[in-house]
């Protein structure tokens, strides 16, 4: 089943998708586990083949369609992921009751930054957080900083999530954080997407922003991070720890920079002989 799912992603086909996902739902504890497990493994393989020049853009577009279809199959009409009981606050796993009971539903604004069209990861984050009782405002892809600022002022979200998968998005995220700060906004910022990292977040984004900036590696961690940030009892300790960890990363980076470089002669003497 795992192999068939991977092949479906690589080939961008969907004939066997429904049957294989039905089988996966029996074997895996939740839809999130299937997304983070076999589906992500398939996408990694696609990324590897694309990176090595063994797959081309039109094929990756087909792949993306298959991934979207898979997530749709795993999502019910009410936007909840099938059997997504892991983080449920009710014994029957139906978090939608939370939406009805909680009149002050926490809002999460999501956007893929300007210049970047990748949205599969962001959409997964949206579905997972929606299942955890958050109200999602999804601004889509290629969203300019000024639009994000405007939407934040208009909708007053409790959390802002930025997604970016290409290298230029890293600089754009710094740009967005700066624009938000200049508008006087310090809503917690979640940073995600394949090119982002804890190090880049600590070095470049966190220093330009007033509020907490958290790098989130995958969709399964989002709700935990959001809950820690939004719960009054845990927020201060969480943010203090976050700032300490980010300071440690900055120190680590600064120390690396101080390592003496080897001389040009030494480096040349160590070169790899490709024709040996
Ligand atoms: C699918 C894909 C595409 C599709 C995108 C379709 C779509 N609708 O999204 C298409 C074909 C359009 C595409 C285009 C391009 N792509 Co592309 N693409 C990919 C690929 C294969 C998979 C990305 C993906 O969806 N992964 C699966 C998702 C689920 O993972 P994810 O996004 O990382 O999300 C997870 C976490 O990161 C996190 N997360 C993500 N966002 C957020 C946000 C928040 C707030 C939080 C908390 C968490 C979070 O949660 C998710 C679930 O766990 C990757 C390779 C790879 N393995 O990443 C290349 C890749 C990202 N693409 C790449 C490139 C170069 C391009 C192009 C420039 C190619 C070209 N020459 O035109 C264009 C870019 C166009 C643009 N301006 O953006 C490079 C980027 C390299 C770089 N460092 O810049 C990669 C890494 C491939 C490679 N190895 O070279 N691509």
Greatest mean pLDDT range, 52-56, 99-103, 176-180, 264-268: 176-180
Q: Domain for residue 85, yes or no?
A: no
Asked if residue 80 has pLDDT above 90, the reply is: no
Quote the percentage of the chain above a pLDDT of 70: 87
pLDDT at 118: 96
Per-residue pLDDT at 228 exceeds 90: no
Q: What is the mean pLDDT of residues 196-207?
A: 97
In this predicted structure, what is the pLDDT of residue 240? 97
88 located within any domain: no
* Count of structural domains within the chain: 2
Are residues 49 and 138 located together in one domain of the fold? Answer: no
Residue 233 confidence (pLDDT): 84
Instruction: Say whether both 61 and 180 belong to one domain.
Output: no
Which residues, judged by CB distance below 6 Å to any ligand atom, belong to the binding site of ligand 1?
43-44, 46-47, 50-51, 57, 60-61, 63-64, 110, 115-122, 124-125, 161-163, 165-167, 190, 192-195, 216, 218-219, 222
170 is a domain residue: yes
Q: How confident is the model at residue 173 (pLDDT cuts 50, 70, 90)?
A: very high
| 11: containing domain | 2-73
Q: Are 82 and 74 in contact (CB under 8 A)?
A: yes
- Domain membership flag for residue 208: yes
135 given a catalytic annotation: no
């Amino acid at each position: 089943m795992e192999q068939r799912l991977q092949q479906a992603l690589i080939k961008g086909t969907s004939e066997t998708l429904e049957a294989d996902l039905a089988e996966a739902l029996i074997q895996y504890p939740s839809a999130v586990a299937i997304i983070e497990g076999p589906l992500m493994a398939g996408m990694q393989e696609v990324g590897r083949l694309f990176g090595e020049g063994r797959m081309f853009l039109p094929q990756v577009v087909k792949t993306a369609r298959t991934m979207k279809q898979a997530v749709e199959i795993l999502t019910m009409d009410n936007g909840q992921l099938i059997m997504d009981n892991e983080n449920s606050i009710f014994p029957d796993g139906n978090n939608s009751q939370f939406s009805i009971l909680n009149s002050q539903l926490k809002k999460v604004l999501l956007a893929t930054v300007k210049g970047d069209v990748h949205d599969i990861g962001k959409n997964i984050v949206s579905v997972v957080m929606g299942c955890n009782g958050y109200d999602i405002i999804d601004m889509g892809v290629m969203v300019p900083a000024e639009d994000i600022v405007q939407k934040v002022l208009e909708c007053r979200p409790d959390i802002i999530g930025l997604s970016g998968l290409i290298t230029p998005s890293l600089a754009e995220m710094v740009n967005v954080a700066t624009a938000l700060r200049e508008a006087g906004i310090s809503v917690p910022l979640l940073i995600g997407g394949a090119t982002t990292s804890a190090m880049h977040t600590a070095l470049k984004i966190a220093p330009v922003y007033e509020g907490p900036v958290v790098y989130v590696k995958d969709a399964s961690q989002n709700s935990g991070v959001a809950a820690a940030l939004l719960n009054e009892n845990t927020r201060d300790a969480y943010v203090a720890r976050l700032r300490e960890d980010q300071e440690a990363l900055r120190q680590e980076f600064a120390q690396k920079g101080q390592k003496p470089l080897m001389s040009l002669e030494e480096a040349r003497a160590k070169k790899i002989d490709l024709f040996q």
